[in-house]
Amino acid sequence: MKRSKLLWGVLGGAAVVAAIGTLLVGGLSENVVYFLTPSELVARGTEAVDQPLRLGGQVKPGSVVWDAEELDLIFAVQDSVGEIGVRYTGAQPAMFREGIGVVIEGSMQGNGVFEATNLMVKHSNEYKAPHGDSIPGTMYESIIRPEVEE
Amino acid sequence: MRGRLRWMLPLAAVPFLGLLMFGLARNPDFFPTPLIGEPAPSWHLETLEGDSLSLAELRGKVVVLNFWASWCVPCRAEHGVLLETARTYPVDEVQVVGIVYDDSRRNAQRFLDQLGNTWLHVVDPGIRTAIDHGVHGVPETFFVDRGGAIGAKHIGPLTWDVVQANVDSLLASPPVTAPVP
Amino acid sequence: MNSLIGSAAVTAAWLGSGVLAVLGLVAGYRRSPELLRGAKYTATFVFAAMAVALATMEWALLTHDFSVEYVANVGSLETPPYYTAISLWSSLEGSILFWAFILAAYTALVVFVQRRSTSRLLPYALGVLGIVGLFFYGLVATVASPFGVVSPAPLNGPGPNPLLQNHPLMGLHPPLLYLGYVGMAVPFAFGIAALLSGKVDEEWIRTTRRWTVTPWAFLSLGIIAGAWWSYEVLGWGGYWAWDPVENASFLPWLTATAFLHSVMVQERRGMLKTWNLTLVIGTFLLTLFGTFLTRSGVLDSVHAFTEGFIGPLFLAFIAFVTLTSLTLIAWRADRLHSPGSLDGVISRESSFILNNLIFAAFTFTVLLGTTFPLVIEAINGDRVSVGPPYFNMVSIPLGLLLLFLMGVGPALPWRRTTGERLKRSFVRPVVVGLVVATASLALGVRSPYPIITFAFAGFVMTTIVDEFRKGISARRRISGVGFFRGFGQILTRNNRRYGGYTVHAGIVVIIVALAVSGTWRFEREATLRAGEHMVLGDYTVQFDSLWAFEEPHRVVVNSAFTASRAGRLLGTIEPRMNFYSQQPNEPIATPAVRSFIDADLYLTLMAFDQQNASHATVRVIVNPGVPWLWIGGMIIAIGAILSVAPQRHRTPAVSVFAGRATEVPKTDENSGVDAERDLEPAGATSS
């Protein structure tokens, strides 16, 4: 009697472990997102199409086309060797500019354009950034209202 | 659990600890500076003394371009290294230039009076030059070769080894880009 | 001066901690009351020293003493006082100082609470806490010292990281988390003390119940406050992203929760001894691991900041704790055999064991997902990340299983049950669950997970309500009180049990809120000119105006939108973008959230016309269920407070000897209900 209960326990445990193992292996293999540079992505060719990816590189100077009405952003991201065209729909991150490092989440389309679902400006948080004579104040001078509101 | 095998139990943790060790050893920064090997952004700025200075004037020398501020504590730590740099290399070979990053002239001057100053410093209104260089914070240092191209970049306080390795290699090698007239 | 006092204080604490370690361990080994007394004094001294250090640091921060290195790093004259005070934990050195202070406080509290204890475990536990302290105070005194001298002192500093000074919750989230993390050192110390002393029976578990529930509650609230903070600050309308650092706080929560349940099996049935020790050690290690992750840059995370020396030292300490603990378990293996065994397949203990299996699996999956990028990189150098889809995929089924067990476990008796009993306990809950499932279907819910969640939630809530009802009616039968008196009495007399159920109720609320917000969230982003509006479900959002204003430490870009819901005007909603002078190019969004009973309307200013403020880009998110996450958190807090509150006994007039009331055997309150009684042997933890 006791033995059979133990058996049940072991079987139950094994079933749980097996189920979880299956979930895990399936889950991990499907949901690993590779982090590539533009040249690595170019090297993968069509193999990379439709896979979720993170692409890291620099916004190519002169490549940015921005439609503020439609929130449509097209630019090229490059590293020292290759470049990839990127299309993103949504507001530009505030720090987005030509030449800056970006991390783009999305996937390569069959037409060779990287469709971005998320666009992040890469910033290092290693060292403290500056402080001083109100640079933001001068940046947005034209829309500052003098009265301080709460 | 009773046999000798139980003493093997702690070994189970070793692979995981090894993995963490590997994690520590890896370089967390995925991005090489896209600027490496490219011409350094040009600038023409006013020095703390009120003269004007531009990168173009320094063509032919290796330039150690150091972004710093008086409120930055690590900058104090690396100041001695910069003093050493300016003392070691002849000024017609290697020019150290400090770019004062988001700081008032008065505080910057006070910092230099206290800690010593044997090289050139320029002020960077609106940190435009820093933004051009992709500076995220201070201290950050760029090593510019004789042809005006960026040879290396260092984030965080300099050490003498870093300076020596980068400056010596730039002095030894020909300019990465041909000098532009 | 502040530097000098602070350095002296942390150095004193460090040395004191060494003395504490030696005195504690030797006192335990020699069973010497004199040495134990010495250890207690030392622990008090260490606490005093750390209190001085902490007070000095706060003083230095608030008085802007920039000659203190930490103040020079994170302070600034422009930062408002509140954020100056909490900048104690805005950077590495300060947070380790704070951590170390909490450790000293917990250690002193152990000394105080256990002051009359003659347990053999106490000296060892103090010794173990001394060793842990040796590491942390050592960090504070040496490589991570916040008290370095900056000479000459700068006139001003850069101020704390903008992200950390943008929302008042920053004053709550880290301290709660730290109180949770560090508190786990106490049960760990008693667990190791049990191994060292060889007294591996249930004593250490009874002694540490409150010492586990309390940090568990802090950890839970810390996690929830963290989710709330990121919801209010990060501007993407979410509260949990499975970021490595979030996972790092979730992992010890999982093992601690498993531990809270599995100890009951050991208390009751003497089973799972090794398992419980493994859990308590694992929990402590995971808190260290969490700190290591945040502080070492091992994994890419939005929270990480790299610091040279700390990482390797932390790793060395983690290795030391792991190897020592496992060796101790191996050493005591022959004493760790369980006298009890599983009687019935369907019983309270089997449901707890299953619960623990699932918690262990959960921990493993989250840990695997968190460290998998490292594994891949170690194997072939590829940089990968494991995204939320993986975590959601594995955690939803596991979470649902746990939710289900939450309803089953408490209603099952210990040892074995009968079909009759099962029917009595579960017919109503199952019916309620089915009704909820049918109702969800009828209301148009089609995705399976939400339906299962709601059905299980209905099932669990019914069992909880039934437990309360049974308890109350038993009270009413025994003492003839009314419903509300009865309710009050079960809460005060059997607070551990009903506190636990209250926590369960809070968790059910949170799980339902997660399912709702995960399923029905929707958002739209648009660029609007002044006067233009957008429609989102039954919400209308119109852009009115935009302006900026300056504050000493930042520039605020403020936008004003008029919102209405189903034609009813909601007034003005003002999402902002804050530009701190530290990071002028990286604005910190301040979303504006309007909460309703069923949903949040969440507006984030994404971009704006910098020249004449004529248009703005706004992301509007309708987040159903989210308000209930925070409400659920509050219910958990109430339940946790209930369950650790001192038990109120009916004290017969004969037994009022001062200080001995706790030893009066407790009368069995629930005997009429359920062979079940409170698990806590009288007096064991009331000390």
- Are C384 and A71 a contacting pair at CB < 8 A? no
Query: How far is it, in rounded angstroms, from Cα B70 to Cα C245?
Result: 33
Residues C70 and C202 in one domain: no
The C-alpha atoms of residue C113 and residue C210 are separated, in whole angstroms, by 11
Dihedral sign, Cα of residue C391, residue C394, residue C395, residue C396: positive
Q: Are C551 and C658 part of one and the same domain?
A: no
Shared domain for C633 and C620, answered yes or no, is no
Percent of the residues in chain C that have a pLDDT greater than 90, as a whole number: 45
Three-class HEC string of B151-174:
EEEEECCCCHHHHHHHHHHHHHCC
- pLDDT band, residue C681 (cuts 50/70/90): very low
The pLDDT, as a whole number, for residue C638 is 93
Give CA–CA dist B145/B158, Å, rounded.
18
Q: Quick one: pLDDT at residue C299?
A: 58
Q: C526: buried, middle or exposed (CB in 10 Å: 19+, 13-18, 0-12)? A: buried
C318, pLDDT greater than 80: yes
Q: Coil, strand, or helix at residue C686?
A: coil
Asked whether residue C524 falls in the same domain as residue C560, the answer is yes
Q: Is the pLDDT of residue A55 over 70?
A: yes
- For chain C, what is the mean pLDDT? 85
Which domain CATH number covers C560?
A: 2.60.98
Residue C683 falls inside a structural domain: no
Q: Residue C183's pLDDT is what?
A: 95
Q: Over pLDDT 90: what percentage of chain B?
A: 25
Going by their DSSP bridges, the two strands C554-565 and C568-573 should be labelled as: antiparallel
* Sequence-separated (6 or more) residues with CB below 8 Å from residue C279: C255, C256, C258, C259, C262, C356
Please list every residue in chain A whose beta carbon sits closer than 8 Å to the beta carbon of residue B156: 126-127
**Top-confidence range, A66-80, B29-43, C557-571:** C557-571
Q: Does B141 score more than 50 pLDDT?
A: yes
User: Mind listing the pLDDT tens digit for each residue in C367-421?
Assistant: 988 888 888 888 877 778 887 888 888 889 999 999 999 988 888 878 777 778 8
Does residue C350 register a pLDDT over 70?
yes
For position C583, what pLDDT does the model report? 65
Contacts of residue A28 in chain C, CB cutoff 8 Å?
368-369, 372, 386, 390
Q: Smallest Cα–Cα separation from A37: which of B134, B153, B31?
A: B31
Q: What is the pLDDT of residue C510?
A: 96
Count of CA atoms in the C-beta half-sphere (13 A) of C274: 18
User: C319 and C274 in one domain?
Assistant: yes
User: pLDDT-derived band of residue C297, with 50, 70 and 90 as boundaries?
Assistant: low
Q: Residues C337-353: what's their mean pLDDT?
A: 77
Partner chains of A (3+ C-beta pairs under 8 Å)? B, C
User: Over chain A, what is the mean pLDDT?
Assistant: 73
Average pLDDT of the segment spanning A121-145:
51
C479, pLDDT greater than 70:
yes
Q: Of residues C647 and C482, which shows the higher confidence score?
A: C482
Kindly report, residue by residue over B51-107, the tens digit of the pLDDT: 999 999 998 899 999 999 887 777 888 899 999 999 999 988 999 999 998 778 888
The answer to whether the CB of B175 falls within 8 A of the CB of B149 is yes
For the segment C198-219, the average pLDDT, to the nearest whole number, is 90
**Would the CA dihedral through C180, C626, C513, C620 be positive or negative?**
negative
User: How far apart, in whole angstroms, are the C-alpha atoms of residue C648 and residue C597?
Assistant: 36
Q: Has residue C669 been placed in a domain?
A: no
* CA–CA min distance C274, chain B (Å): 10
Q: Tell me the Cα Rg of chain B.
A: 21
> Which has the closest alpha carbon to C623: C601, C604, C605?
C601
**CA atoms of C390 and C371, how far apart (whole Å):** 13
Q: What is the pLDDT of residues C14-39, one digit of tens each?
A: 999 999 999 999 999 999 999 999 99
Cβ contacts of B45 within 8 Å, gap of 6 or more = B52, B53, B54, B99, B122, B123, B124, B129
Residue among B111, B84, B86 nearest B97 (CA)? B86
> C231 with C374, same domain?
yes
Q: Is the per-residue pLDDT at C680 higher than 70?
A: no
Contact status, residue C131 vs residue C123, Cβ threshold 8 Å: no
CB C72 within 8 A of CB C66: yes
Q: Encoding tokens for residue C425?
A: 């306990």
Last residue of a domain, one of C363, C394, C411: C411
Residue B62 contacts residue B94 (beta carbons within 8 Å): yes
Does one domain contain both C219 and C368? yes
C599 plus C642 within the same structural domain: no
**For C73, nearest residue in chain B (alpha carbons):** B73
Domains of chain B: 35-172 (3.40.30.10)
Q: How far apart are CA C485 and CA C299, in angstroms?
A: 53
Q: Are residues C403 and C417 in the same domain?
A: no
Mutate to test the interface with C, among A131, A135, A141 (most CBs of C within 10 A): A131
Q: C584–A94: do the CB atoms touch at under 8 Å? A: no
Contact list in A for residue C607 (CB cut-off 8 A) is: 91-92, 94
- Contact predicate B41/B131, CB 8 Å: no
In a domain, C422, yes or no: yes
Burial C256-266 (b: 16+ CB within 10 A, else e): bbbbbbbbbbb
- The answer on C638 and C492 residing in a single domain is yes
Residue C676 lies in a domain: no
C-chain residue closest to B11, CA distance: C323
- A-C C-beta contacts closer than 8 Å: 171
Co-location of C622 and C636 in the same domain: no
Of residues C261 and C586, more confidence is placed in C261
Closest-CA residue to B152 (of B160, B163, B161): B163
Beta bridge partners of A120: A103
On the question of pLDDT at C676 being above 50, the answer is no
Lowest mean pLDDT among A27-31, C227-231, C462-466, C506-510: A27-31
Looking only at the bridges linking them, the beta strands covering C568-573 and C576-580 are unpaired
Contact flag B10-C374 (C-beta cutoff 8 Å): no
Containing domain of residue C213, as a range? 181-336+346-411
Is C670 a domain residue? no
Separation of alpha carbons C615 and C543, rounded Å: 8
Instruction: Check if the beta carbon of residue C437 is closer than 8 Å to that of residue C455.
Output: yes
Q: Classify the complex by whether its ipTM is higher than 0.85, answering yes or no.
A: no
For the beta carbon of residue A97, count every other beta carbon within 10 angstroms.
15
The more confident residue out of B4 and A130 is: B4
Q: Phi and psi for B104 in degrees, rounded to 5?
A: -80, 150
From A48's Cα to the closest Cα of chain B, the distance in A is: 20
Partner chains of B (3+ C-beta pairs under 8 Å) = A, C
For the cut 70, the answer to whether the pLDDT of residue C685 exceeds it is: no
Contact status, residue C547 vs residue A143, Cβ threshold 8 Å: yes
Residue C671: inside a domain, yes or no? no
**A97 phi, psi to nearest 5 deg:** -160, 170
List, as ranges, residues 345-404 from C with C-beta within 8 Å of B. Answer: 371, 374-375, 377-378, 383
**Does B37 lie at the interface with A, CB-CB under 8 angstroms?**
yes
Q: Does C306 touch chain B (CB under 8 A)?
A: yes
Domain count, chain C: 4
Tell whether C480 and C533 lie within a shared domain.
no
Last residue of one domain, picked from the residues C627, C654, C679: C627
Which helix (DSSP H) or strand (DSSP E) does residue C259 occupy? helix C244-269
Backbone phi, then psi, for C81, in 5-degree steps? -55, -40
Strand arrangement, sheet containing C522-529: C522-529, C615-624, C599-608, C592-595
| Exposure letters B142-152 (e unless 16+ CB within 10 A, then b) | bbbbbbbbbbb
